[in-house]
Amino acid sequence: MLICAATGNAGKLAELRRILQAQGHEVKSQKELGIALEPDETGATFAENARIKAQAICRASGLATVADDSGLCVDALGGAPGVYSARYCGHHGDDEANNDKLLDAMRAVPQAQRGARFVSAVCLMLPDGRQLTCLGECPGRVAASRLPGSYGFGYDPLFIPDECGLPGGGKRANAEGRSYAQLTPEEKDAISHRGRALERLQAALPEFLAGGQPQR
């Protein structure tokens, strides 16, 4: 299937393209299609924001469109930054400022209470108006400082997932305490919130395309 990836975030686009292409799809970014539209994310949930983006870009592109809305939900902060993850610092897309604010907010939180989870809602919108939304989560914890790594974006240097992927498939406990930013793309995709949401979407796709609209 030819799919438009509805995002202007280079890191998110790389993950969506990598995972969707591995599933056998052809992916075009909205930039490659000449679409500069940035819909306002006014939803109260990740799923609502994903649908808003998918619908707007699908209408503009005329193609099946996948949009993701995702964020970090921290237990000690009552689920914050949550849907406001990208603009936690007060403006959109400043990864360094967002990470600084999170570190400040967590400064006095002990190790045993630093639990968190990354959440992703992925919405596939078809030009005929049908839509399929799937959720994925990755549990872990917030590090006390940035963990340098060659991969990732956003809060990845601060998030230590409970598991990491294995070459060729499978997963294991993240005994080394590596952050998302320290996992290779293959290790991350196998356990990430976005990878799990897209895996569920791929599993539901045959029934969805055949005319049903399963709920996930």
Residues 147-205 have pLDDT tens digits of 989 998 999 999 999 999 998 889 999 999 999 999 999 999 999 999 999 999 999 99
Helices (H) and strands (E) in the chain, counts: 5, 8
Task: With H, G, I as helix, E, B as strand and everything else as coil, classify residue 36.
Answer: coil
Which residues, given as ranges, of the chain have pLDDT below 70?
Answer: 212-216
Q: Which residues have C-beta within 8 Å of that of residue 16, sequence separation ≥ 6?
A: 5, 7, 27, 66, 68, 194, 198
Q: Residue 215 has what pLDDT? A: 45
Of 40, 68, 69, 95, catalytic: 69
Domain residue limits, the chain = 2-209
CATH number of 2-209: 3.90.950.10
CB atoms within 10 A of CB 215: 7
Looking at residue 39, what is its pLDDT? 93
Which ranges in the chain belong to alpha helices (H)?
A: 10-22, 46-61, 95-105, 185-189, 193-209
CA distance 166 to 168: 6
69 is catalytic: yes
**DSSP SS3 for 126:** coil
pTM value > 0.75: yes
